[in-house]
Amino acid sequence: MRSLLRHTVGALTVALVTWTAGNAAAQCIELDAAAVDVPFTTEMAADPDAVYLTAVGGDTPTPNDCGLTPSNDPGEWMGWGGPLDTDNASIGEGTGTRNFVTIGGTRYARGIGTHSDATFAFDLSGGDYQRFVAYVGMDDEKDGGAAGSGDSCGFGGTSEFTVSVDGSVVFESGLVTGMSGADNVAPVLVDVDVAGAGELVITITGGDDGIGCDHAAVGDPKLLASSTAVDPAGKTATTWSTLKQR
């Protein structure tokens, strides 16, 4: 059973949802271990009405219980630390070190965790989708405090995210950082029209400082059949000090 309540984190209002193992989405989570304890303030559960984008689960490119898998070469799915071998997890430090996808203090039940540079292409021609909705940002596992002592990636990494539909750019994040000074940085909402589209491409590059430490992630990446508006939460920074109190 799920419980749902509204919760305010600073100026950020999000849906705070808890979920239990045993639902359909849990079949896609194959975390071997948590290498580091990544702090979070909010959990986002899977949307039972969505078709999710995923990385390794399922039969390409047919949607199944796990989601729609990429149609491009797996060698293009990450720029460091691959291959991607686990759904709904961060890139971690490689196989066996994945964590839950966590961006700006929100832990996502569904998501793609990778490392810049990365490209994911999805064939949408088999479904009747109206919108693609997701949250993009840097995974908090490289933020200060989460990265651990001796890890030089305590600034959270930087990347740029682009979404294209049938060859046309429909979303550009600009430069996204994992932290802003001592503050965590909230994920950026993507909400684009994919009605009648044949292909969706997500491109992640390293920004202006290369790809070092760029543990990039796409949280709750879902295809929706309805045009219902999504609460545009997720653009207000939460403070790292708040996260550390958990």
128 vs 208 by CB, closer to Ca ion: 208
Provide the H-helix boundaries in 11-157: none
| 151 near Ca ion (CB under 5 A) | no
52 vs 155 by CB, closer to Ca ion: 155
Q: Supply the Cα-derived Rg of the chain in whole angstroms.
A: 16
Residue of 233, 223, 218 whose CA lies nearest to 88: 218
Beta bridge partners, 134, equal 190
> How far does Cα 73 stand from its chain's mean position?
20
Beta bridge partners, 114, equal none
d(CA 143, CA 159): 14
| 207 near Ca ion (CB under 5 A) | yes
| 140 near Ca ion (CB under 5 A) | yes
Q: How far is the CB of 240 from Ca ion (least distance, A)?
A: 8
Tell me the DSSP string of 114-129: --SSEEEEEE-TTS--
Q: How far is the CB of 169 from Ca ion (least distance, A)?
A: 20
Beta bridge partners, 165, equal 168, 200
123 vs 139 by CB, closer to Ca ion: 139
Residue type for position 179: M
Query: Which of 39, 156, 187, 234 touches Ca ion by CB under 5 A?
Result: 156
> How far does Cα 188 stand from its chain's mean position?
10
Q: How far is the CB of 204 from Ca ion (least distance, A)?
A: 10
Query: Which of 30, 43, 76, 209 touches Ca ion by CB under 5 A?
Result: 209
Query: Which of 87, 123, 214, 220 touches Ca ion by CB under 5 A?
Result: 214
| 143 near Ca ion (CB under 5 A) | yes
Site stretch for Ca ion (CB under 5 A), options 36-44, 68-76, 160-168, 202-210: 202-210
50 vs 134 by CB, closer to Ca ion: 134
Residue pair 120/56 in contact by the 8 Å Cβ criterion:
no
User: Which residues 178-197 are close enough to bind Ca ion by CB under 5 A?
Assistant: 178, 184
Q: How far is the CB of 177 from Ca ion (least distance, A)?
A: 8
| 141 near Ca ion (CB under 5 A) | no
Site stretch for Ca ion (CB under 5 A), options 28-36, 143-151, 197-205, 231-239: 143-151
| 90 near Ca ion (CB under 5 A) | no
Residue pair 178/156 in contact by the 8 Å Cβ criterion:
yes
From residue 189, alpha-carbon distances to 46, 154, 232 in Å are: 16, 24, 7
Q: How far is the CB of 116 from Ca ion (least distance, A)?
A: 6
> How far does Cα 20 stand from its chain's mean position?
20
Give contact residues for Ca ion (rule: CB under 5 A).
Answer: 140, 143, 156, 158, 178, 184, 206-207, 209, 214
